[in-house]
Amino acid sequence: MASPNRPSIKDEKTYDALRKDGMSKEKAARIANAKADDSRSPSKKGGLQPPYEKWTKDELYERAKEIGITGRSDMTKDELIEALRTH
């Protein structure tokens, strides 16, 4: 049974495994729910943007701002990349 502080999860086993691997609650929920839906394939999504290493620091900063990463103004380009990847 889902707790009130937890998003609706369609594939609990996948969600729990992703959380144990250190993934954020939001990202783990998105992936678990996508895997539970046969009409979606999370492994085939994305790939349209270049890798973060090719983004400018300003572009990385704006993306970090969009998703609410705190402390972004003091981060280097490498730190922004790491923060975005682990969000």
Give the model's confidence band at 73: pLDDT under 50 very low, under 70 low, under 90 confident, else very high: very high
Given CA atoms 32, 33, 34, 36 in this order, what sign does their dihedral have?
A: positive
pLDDT confidence bin for 20, thresholds 50/70/90: confident
Question: Residue 38 pLDDT > 80, yes or no?
Answer: no
The arithmetic mean of pLDDT across residues 19-44, rounded, is 73
- Reported pTM: 0.49
Instruction: Determine which of 3-12, 38-47, 63-72 has the lowest per-residue pLDDT on average.
Output: 38-47
Domain locations in the chain as residue ranges: 12-44, 52-86
